[in-house]
Amino acid sequence: MTELINQLTPDEILFWHWWAGAVALLLLEAMLPGAFFLWMAIAAAIVGVLLLAIPSLGGELQIMLFSVTSVVTIIGAMQWRRGRPKLEQTSTLNRRGQQFVGETFVLNEAVVSGRGKLILDDTRWGITGPDCPAGSRILITELTGGSMKFEIVAD
């Protein structure tokens, strides 16, 4: 196999060689962090398509096209990322109840003397707020410790 590769001159490179190179670069992208090899894989696929359309492209021209296309795709991706602001999402890791703040729920138990219980997902949360009967709609306003504060929502 090594002898075959060593005997392959740049003028004998076929379109599928570029596509195989693109797949290899995608595998590298999958194994290594970042998004660098992805753009080189796209460049290799583009050169493969060009070679399929124009089989007379010389080996040196193919390598030059790959190099230029790689640089263009990488710089284009960097410019595209720079123009898009990151969507900052507040992590609720280790603060699971924080995700419920600002949400509306229906009480399954009455709140008596300012204290009650609310079942959300698989957890029973302690809630504090005005007294209200089961079936009332409430808005979670704050999470303090293991308890949630709420307000009654008018129907």
The CATH number assigned to the domain holding 107 equals 2.40.50.140
CA distances from 44 to 12, 55, 65, 71 (A): 16, 15, 9, 12
Give tens-digit pLDDT for 56-71. Answer: 888 889 889 999 999 9
Q: Are residues 76 and 6 in the same domain?
A: yes
Mean pLDDT of the chain: 83
| 4 pLDDT tier (thresholds 50, 70, 90) | very low
What's the whole-model pTM score? 0.50
The residue among 83, 115, 131 that closes a domain is: 83
Would you say residue 143 has pLDDT above 50?
yes
In a domain, 143, yes or no: yes
> By CB neighbour count within 10 A (0-12 exposed, 13-18 middle, 19+ buried), where does 48 fall?
buried
Query: 88 vs 81, which has greater pLDDT?
Result: 81
In a domain, 90, yes or no: no
Q: Are residues 79 and 100 in the same domain?
A: no
Give tens-digit pLDDT for 23-51. Answer: 999 999 888 877 789 899 999 999 999 98
CA distances from 75 to 39, 87, 98, 150 (A): 9, 21, 39, 50
Q: Please tell me the total count of domains within the chain.
A: 2
Query: 65 vs 83, which has greater pLDDT?
Result: 65
Domain that holds residue 116: 96-152
Q: What is the mean pLDDT of residues 109-120?
A: 89
Would you say residue 8 has pLDDT above 60?
no
Sign of CA dihedral 7, 10, 13, 19: positive
Q: Are residues 70 and 102 in the same domain?
A: no
**pLDDT value of residue 5:** 47
Q: Are residues 100 and 78 in the same domain?
A: no
